[in-house]
Structure formats: structure tokens, C-alpha cells
């Protein structure tokens, strides 16, 4: 399948958003290296079918309501759940995220999914922030805690796996992103 973002382009994107990734890392206590590893892995796997899926969501073609979007390749419904998790932990609120603040967004409501999806498609900073919130939510689901500094290697691999798949065992994706996070954490992430 034809990939749309090369290794070099992904690294340039990570450099461009490095300050924002560090800000988000501090806000949610998710290591920058972990966020960068997820973003890198997701970006280099964006292929020619991704814009077609986005077009189907935009136009309602085939009644498609959601797809993975942006650098973080996050679904609208997943982002809503992650945002609601962060809000529940007192780490964010709808207004500070630039979202309508009158009510909670519902990951089961088509209009809320569409609102979030369009927001994440248009706002790259929000897309990256949603990745960090989703990592927190995945951590809580898989380990019962959100302190990334306390995770064993296998626990972190499980959290990273969960970002991409609804499973309770470590996959090749989790192994790969774990390796990438170590490279980004060592400062050699630009030479992957």
C-alpha cells in the first residue's frame, strides 16, 4: 500500500510540533518520547486509503461516521472517551480544549462523533493532545493507574498496544512503539 508520510517527513513533523508535544506531555504526565513514538508509528502508516476514508466521513458516503484522523490517527469516538476521561480526572475541560462546553460529548452519539472528528481533522494540536489523553485512558484501562514512570516494560507495551487495538495482550505494534519510545527518549529518535 502506498504510504503518504515518509520517515523523513514524520521526523520533520515531530520536530515542528516538539514544543507542543512537550507542553502536552507536561499537562498529562505522559512522556514526550511515548507521545512521539505513537505519532511517528501512526504517521508512517497513513496510506492512500486514509484520505478516502476521511472523504467518506466528510460526505457521509456509505453512511461512514468515523475514521482515524490526523497525525495521531485517532477516531472521533475514541477521542471523546479520552477527553471525557481527562475531564473526569480534572486534567482538562471542554472550554480549555476549545470544544463546546454546554454538555458532555457522548461517544455513542453520531453528531458528537462528527463534531469531534471534524475538530481533530482541522486542529493538529488538538489531535496530538487527544493522543496523550487516549494514552492516559489506555493506561488506566490496562494497568489501573496512569503513572507512566511506574510501568514495567511489559505494562508500557500493553498500554501502547491498547492505543491501537482492543486487546489484552501485547502485539507487535506495542513492541514496535515501545522500541521507538526508547529511541525518542534517548535523543536518537531523529535517527530511527
Task: Check residue 190 and give its pLDDT.
Answer: 53
pLDDT in tens, the chain (192 residues): 899 999 999 999 999 999 999 999 999 999 999 999 999 999 999 999 998 998 898 888 888 889 999 999 999 999 999 999 999 999 999 999 999 877 899 999 999 999 999 999 999 999 999 999 999 999 999 999 999 999 999 999 999 999 999 999 999 999 999 999 999 997 655 545
Nearest CA-CA partner of 134 in 81, 65, 77, 62 = 81
Q: Let me know if 138 is exposed, middle or buried by CB neighbors in 10 A (0-12, 13-18, 19+).
A: buried
Task: Check residue 188 and give its pLDDT.
Answer: 56
Cα torsion angle, 81, 85, 86, 88, sign: positive
Task: Check residue 102 and give its pLDDT.
Answer: 79
Global confidence as pTM: 0.94
Task: Check residue 101 and give its pLDDT.
Answer: 76
- Tell me the CA distances in angstroms from 187 to 24, 38, 64, one per residue in order: 18, 16, 40
Q: What is the CA radius of gyration of the chain?
A: 16
| DSSP code string of 1-12 | --BSS-HHHHHH
Q: Is 74 helix (H, G, I), strand (E, B) or coil?
A: strand
Q: What is the CATH number of domain 7-191?
A: 1.10.530
Task: Check residue 10 and give its pLDDT.
Answer: 98
CA dist., res. 85 & res. 183, Å (int):
29
Residues 52, 62 contacting (CB under 8 angstroms): no
Amino acid at each position: 500500500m502506498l504510504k503518504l508520510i515518509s520517515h523523513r517527513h514524520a521526523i520533520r513533523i515531530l520536530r515542528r510540533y516538539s514544543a507542543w508535544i512537550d507542553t502536552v506531555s507536561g499537562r498529562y504526565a505522559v512522556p514526550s518520547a511515548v507521545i512521539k513514538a505513537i505519532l511517528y508509528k501512526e504517521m508512517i502508516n497513513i496510506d492512500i486509503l486514509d484520505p478516502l476514508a476521511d472523504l467518506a466521513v466528510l460526505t457521509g458516503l456509505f453512511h461512514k461516521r468515523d475514521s482515524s484522523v490526523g497525525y495521531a490517527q485517532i477516531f472521533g469516538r475514541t477521542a471523546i472517551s479520552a477527553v471525557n476521561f481527562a475531564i473526569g480526572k480534572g486534567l482538562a475541560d471542554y472550554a480549555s480544549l476549545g470544544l463546546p462546553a454546554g454538555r458532555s460529548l457522548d461517544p455513542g452519539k453520531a453528531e458528537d462523533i462528527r463534531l469531534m472528528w471534524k475538530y481533530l481533522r482541522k486542529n493538529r494540536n488538538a489531535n496530538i493532545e487527544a493522543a496523550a489523553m487516549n494514552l492516559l485512558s489506555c493506561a488506566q484501562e490496562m494497568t489501573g493507574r496512569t503513572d507512566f514512570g511506574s510501568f514495567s516494560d511489559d505494562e508500557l507495551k500493553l498500554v501502547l498496544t491498547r492505543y491501537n487495538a482492543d486487546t489484552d495482550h501485547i502485539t507487535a505494534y506495542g513492541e514496535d512503539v515501545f522500541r521507538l519510545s526508547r529511541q525518542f527518549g534517548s535523543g536518537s529518535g531523529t535517527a530511527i
